Chains A and B, each alone.
Chain A
Amino acid sequence: MDGFLLTLWLVRILFLLLLYAFLFAVVRVLLRDLRAASRSRGELGRLVVLASPRGEPPAGASFALDVIATLGRDVNNSVVVDDPFVSGEHAVLTFRGRSWYVEDLGSTNGTFVNGAQVETVAAIGFGDELQLGEVRLRLDRPRT
């Protein structure tokens, strides 16, 4: 009978141990993901191309953003937007403090945040839509 009890006791403890084995495995996954996230800390936001009739940049492309990113037709820009309605130096995105701002650099056709024209500088949040000429872009939170 004692042998029974001992076996039973071991199975009982095995169940508890397996519960913890599972928790341990899950926590390892969580930590791994956190580490992966911290590795990609460098980026502060992402610019996703929603629509681009000319294909430069291609729709669906996404750019990791540093503290400052210039947009325009000119090849010297961080994000080159090759569209006839976009000025050479069209707009600049800057990350100041905790938020993103977009500044219109005196473009011919203007810069729009969610359809509203930007007068010199406007704040822009994650999920907001940015339009330069016919190109529509979305500011997304950094990928983790």
Chain B
Amino acid sequence: MTSSGPGRRPIGTTILRTGVALACAFAVLAGGAGWWQVVEAQRLATSPDNPVVIAAARRTLRGPIVDRDGRWLARSSRDANGEALREYRDPVVSHVVGYASRQFGTAGLERTYNPELLGLAGADPMGGLLDKFDPSPREPLGLRLTLDLRLQRAAVQALGRDRGAVVMLDPATGEILALASTPTYDASAIADPATAAATFERLRDDDAKPLLPRATLGRYVPGSVFKIVTLMAGLGGDAISPATTFPEQPDAEQDGLVVDGFPIRDGHHPQTGDRALDLVEATEVSCNLWFALAGLATGGERLVGEAEELGFGAAIPFDLPTAASRVNDGSGDAPGGFSGEVELASAAFGQGGTFVTPLQMALVAATVANDGVLMKPHLVSEVTGEGTGAGPVGPETWRRVLAADDAAVIQAAMREAVEGDLGRLFTSGAKGTGVPTAGKSGTAELGGSGEPHSWFIGYAGGQTPRIAIAVLVEQGGRGGERAAPLAGDLMARYFELYGRP
């Protein structure tokens, strides 16, 4: 029996509210559809795994990739069955150009610029309505790189059988001239369906990891090359100046520097006697204790902050995937994510929990060379061909990291570290060019019995340096012995090719 209580509400109201709620739910659906079909449409439609893209890749002749002088690096032809076949000129560029394989997908620039190279780019949701019926709607576009094949070859040859990486770039524009990683691999063998499976399997299982682009994705202990970052942080934060000396430094070289009750030991520098070193001398002899003290004076937060300005802490925006370099793992409670003063002091001379990519360290050198302004690194100077998406890619300023006068201080120190009386002893061979050269070597101790990683970062070219470089040789010994002369040779090669200033 129905009784009517006073709490009863007219049913029409609740029905109306329900209708409104459902209409809102449908509005959310419309939003979701808009997200996938408009906002994300381009990305989805040109994703390398999209069946349409895969089908197009089988038919389409991918656009050519050439180096800065127009030498071909990758080109396509048709095989006997009329299917597209990709060919690569030289294994030295494999880590840059990558590969496009039917079985194994794409890598390198072939992946980044897949839509352009296939002619799928620029498919805006409104336009191209008639084109949807065409198997190959637009002409595939090509790429002109900033890379110089001759320098790239020189870099790979110089690394020889060692595992390592070389990055060379124009500090004023961010143009990458060489981006070498060794060992490398034959991309043509992966692109050829006949040999792809066997090649890929062999490369994947190789202990030397030839598929790893060490220059962009390899992360290494930096050793002393990180001291340049410490200098930037200290000078930028006014914690140090060119005249800064630390009175406790000479004694500490005998007894160890006690930080938080923990002694940091470092060898004595016989060349400088027992005096307290200033900024330039400390850089020349690469005095770990001076940099430890400078780092402590600067503070962890400032040091990490400066590093992040340089691109640490996140993947560097680039034409290729990059690994994020880091000063520490960020798990500590001390400022900047350090676990304490000991880690900060060690990081200041590159032996803390710091890991860097060769590309990142090349950017550090380039920033100093470019008077404190960091340019965005780029590999592609022009998307060639006709159609949407084609056009030149100009240099782009990323940001000013350092005041020009602070940059000048570091320039002087790095110059002395290569050309000075003391510096020459540590970086023998970096100067082989006959042009003013600046730099910093690094010897990254790995602990254990293995040889240290050999590092050098620097630049050359007088008033306005034209070439900056980072060299890493895995377990190559002391920086001055392996990486520095290698860098010297490559910079000499550069000036040979492009003329001295």
Contacts and interface: CB of A to CB of B under 8 A. Distances in A.
Nearest to A129: B2
Interface of A: 2, 5-6, 9, 98-99, 113-116, 122-128, 141
B17 interface: no
Contacts of B3: 114, 116, 123
B133 A125 contact: no
Nearest to A13: B129
Nearest to A124: B4
A116 B12 CA distance: 26
Given A116-B3, A128-B2, A9 B130 contact: yes
Q: Shortest 7 CB-CB distances between A and B: which pairs? A: A125-B4, A123-B4, A5-B130, A124-B4, A123-B6, A98-B10, A114-B2
User: Is chain A's interface secondary structure helix, strand, loop, or mixed overall?
Assistant: mixed
Contacts of B2: 114, 125, 127-128
B243 interface: no
Contact of A123 (B5, B130, B133): B5
A6 B130 contact: yes
B9 interface: yes
Contacts of B8: 98-99, 123, 125
B1 interface: yes
A113 B4 contact: yes
Interface in B341-357: none
A99 B129 contact: no
B1 A115 contact: yes
Interface centre among A123, A127, A128 (most CB of B within 10 A): A123
A98 B130 CA distance: 60
A16 to B, nearest CB: 12
B129 A9 contact: yes
A122 B133 CA distance: 72
A2 B6 CA distance: 72
Interface residues of B, number: 14
Contacts of B130: 2, 5-6, 9
Interface centre among B2, B4, B12, B133 (most CB of A within 10 A): B4
Nearest to A12: B129
A113 B2 CA distance: 9
A122 B4 CA distance: 8
Contact of A128 (B4, B10, B129, B133): B4
A141 B12 CA distance: 10
26 contacts: A5-B130, A6-B130, A98-B8, A98-B9, A98-B10, A99-B4, A99-B6, A114-B1, A114-B2, A114-B3, A115-B1, A116-B1, A116-B3, A122-B4, A123-B3, A123-B4, A123-B5, A123-B6, A123-B8, A124-B4, A125-B4, A125-B8, A126-B11, A128-B2, A141-B10, A141-B12
Nearest to A2: B130
Nearest to B13: A98
Nearest to A102: B4
A113 to B, nearest CB: 7
A117 to B, nearest CB: 13
A45 B129 CA distance: 56
A2 to B, nearest CB: 8
A9 B2 CA distance: 61
B9 A5 contact: no
A5 B8 CA distance: 62
Interface string B113-146: 0000000000000000110010000000000000
Contact of B133 (A5, A115, A116): A5
A128 B1 CA distance: 10
Contacts of B133: 5
Contacts of A99: 4, 6, 8
A28 B4 CA distance: 37
Interface string B1-31: 1111110111110000000000000000000
B22 to A, nearest CB: 15
B126 to A, nearest CB: 13
Interface string B222-248: 000000000000000000000000000
A70 B1 CA distance: 26
A104 to B, nearest CB: 15
Nearest to B6: A123
A133 B392 CA distance: 95
Interface string B167-183: 00000000000000000
Contacts of B11: 126
A122 B3 CA distance: 9
Nearest to A5: B130
Contacts of B129: 9
A123 B11 CA distance: 16
Contacts of A123: 3-6, 8
